[in-house]
Amino acid sequence: MKALASFATGGLWQRAGAMLVKEFLQLRRDRITFATMIMIPLIQLVLFGYAINTNPRDMPTAVLLQESSDVGRSILKAIENTRYFKVTHLVRDEAELDRLLASGRVLFAIEVPAGFERALRRGDRPALLIAADATDPVATGSALGALRELVQTALQHEHAIPDSPVAAFEVRQHARYNPAGASQLNIVPGLLGTILTLTMLIFTALSVTREIERGTMEHLLAMPISPLEIMLGKIAPYILVGFLQATLILVAGVTLFAVPVVGDLSLLAALTTLFIATNLSFGYTFSTLAQNQLQAVQMSMMFFLPNMLLSGFLYPFAGMPVWAQWIGECLPLTHFIRIVRAILLKGSNLADLHYDALVLALLMLVAMAIAVTRFRRTLD
């Protein structure tokens, strides 16, 4: 009996060892799964460690100087020294300030009104006007808080200003588009893009691999149809599904969370359709690269992760380092979040959003070109 037990135990370890070797060999052949297991923790570590910053600095700022004076320049220098602001535009009128804020090219607009220095020297406590794009209250809140110190330090070298226990001027802040700083107005529009990204990627990432695994790809290859026609036929139904999803999310946001709709809904519908088509194109590309449905889902999640973290949905886009912002600019969700927040909360038009719309269209065309090329190789 002891010999039999010893034989059985030895056989158990042999069989387990054989299975162990077999799994390692299979893992080595399935390079995409192995790369996913290694890369996702590394990507998370790098993004959370280096790219994510909840206290953003050097945020783009536009300045309107209604008068050219030493005091005005001293105030601007003090504003930049807070490290929260970076003056990127010197404008000529208030209309240009409004356009820059509406388009999202700046997060702050500072106006030094006419007669500011004269009022200072008379002790009249004039107001420095600062408008903030509050569609992302996390990004602008800390910067607005830093302005309290500005009043105390901006004019410390201006000896011609009369001494007074009261501050020489006041900072008049105006949080535009979300004056109450409600987080729902920031999160719900972002959720619209995030949910569409996840579902559209996975839907189409499985399209080609599903045909291969079911054995129906041979029927497609035998038909007189081009790779582009196959791709358009597979994508079109999901555009309708995505549009239905977007409608449900928007209606829920308006009714449950009181998200305002300031802009043109038809423009939002058109750009949402473009965004859906862009994500479907990326998903279809992954389906042509993957060998099975599991790999297709893994590729989709690898693409979804940086979209979540670098788009400005969870963390302020302006707080990321330059290299992370460049990566974010190559992601569809970054541009759609800007679009949907601008239309719903600001009432922006296509002229304000032309850059983000063009980038979405370019990303869609690039993804489609890669998908058609890869699918043609599959046919060959």
- Beta pairing, strands 59-65 & 85-91: parallel
**Number of CB atoms found within 10 A of residue 156's CB:** 10
Task: For 74-130, write each residue's pLDDT tens digit.
Answer: 778 877 777 788 888 888 888 888 888 888 888 889 888 888 888 877 878 888 888
DSSP string, 176-208: ES-TT--THHHHHHHHHHHHHHHHHHHHHHTHH
Report, as an integer, the average pLDDT of 332-349: 93
Would you place residue 203 in the very low, low, confident or very high pLDDT band (cuts 50, 70, 90)?
Answer: confident
User: What are the E-state strand segments in 236-371?
Assistant: none
**Structure confidence at residue 182 (pLDDT):** 82
In sequence order, the 6+-apart residues with CB closer than 8 A to the CB of 312 are: 136, 190, 328, 334, 337, 338
Task: For 131-144, write each residue's pLDDT tens digit.
Answer: 888 888 877 877 77
Place of tokens 């890669």: 370
Query: In the structure encoding, which two tokens stand for residue 19, read together?
Result: 């299975």
**Structure confidence at residue 229 (pLDDT):** 77
The SS3 assignment for 61 reads: strand
Query: In the structure encoding, which two tokens stand for residue 61, read together?
Result: 């700022």
Between the ranges 42-51, 91-100, 160-169, where is the mean pLDDT highest?
91-100
Ordered structural domains, the chain, with CATH: 59-176 (3.40.1710.10), 184-379 (no CATH)
Query: In the structure encoding, which two tokens stand for residue 198, read together?
Result: 């996840």
Cβ(80)–Cβ(86) below 8 Å: yes
Flag whether the pTM goes above 0.85: no
